[in-house]
Amino acid sequence: MMRQNGNQWSEMGWLLVVTLVLPFFFGACGGHQVQQNEQLSVAKREIGEAYMRQGNYTAALRELMDAEKLNPRDPLVHDALGLCYMARKRMPEAITHFKRAVELKPSFTAARNNLGAAYLAIEEWDAAIEIFQEIKQDVLYATPQFAYSNLGYAYYQKQDFATAIEYYREALKLQADLLNALVGMGRTHLALNQGRQALPYLEQARRTSPKVAEVHFLLGEAYLLTGQNPQARVAYETTLELAPRDSDLALKARQRLGIQ
């Protein structure tokens, strides 16, 4: 009788051990699978980013979508997807992924900046301003000049030219050769019919980026406004050399030069 009870306790003991061990076993297997998925997701993301750098956005999307399936909580994957969709002009999807990246990692300021840029692209000026105002307050963000410049652009589009100039000036204090801020400052002064104030910024922009057609066109506008007609002609002719023939910029330059 005692022996039978002993056998029963022995069997119960084994059952108890098995019951306790199996969850740990399956948990360990599950944890190993999760780790494998995360590693494979990183590899897929890096391949996708490489395709993006090559301009092959179709292949990039394929890899990044696979990466998301493997690890849907990776903010880097969502940010890369946002950039890829943005390059494809699919702004709703881009915004969704940038928002998800920020949701998963609130300190991911680069993704927040990309979200602001997406709002600029769809002309949601107030939404963009809200984002960039948040960014410029982040003392750990390494390149706040871009946030200031983007704020300048948003306020320019809202025709609040005084505020635009203020933010462009802040951007240039941080990076004196920042092209977007130089062009933005020149463009804003032109909107105020202040050709003389626009010239220093646009001439510096030309020195910084001599192959940008818009810079030469805006310089032509500033020269024309200040009565420097020969310099304006040269600037418009250079615009025609650099801009695609059928572009709006080329059309405007031909109109200024009086040619068809």
What domains are defined for the chain? 13-136 (1.25.40.10), 143-260 (1.25.40.10)
Is the four-CA dihedral 65, 71, 72, 75 of positive or negative sign?
negative
Q: Could you report the per-residue pLDDT of 14-26, keeping only the tens digit for each?
A: 444 445 454 554 4
Is this prediction's pTM over 0.95?
no
| pLDDT surpassing 80 at residue 11 | no
Q: Could you report the per-residue pLDDT of 100-131, keeping only the tens digit for each?
A: 999 999 999 999 999 999 999 999 999 999 99
Q: Could you report the per-residue pLDDT of 165-212, keeping only the tens digit for each?
A: 999 999 999 999 999 999 999 999 999 999 999 999 999 999 999 999
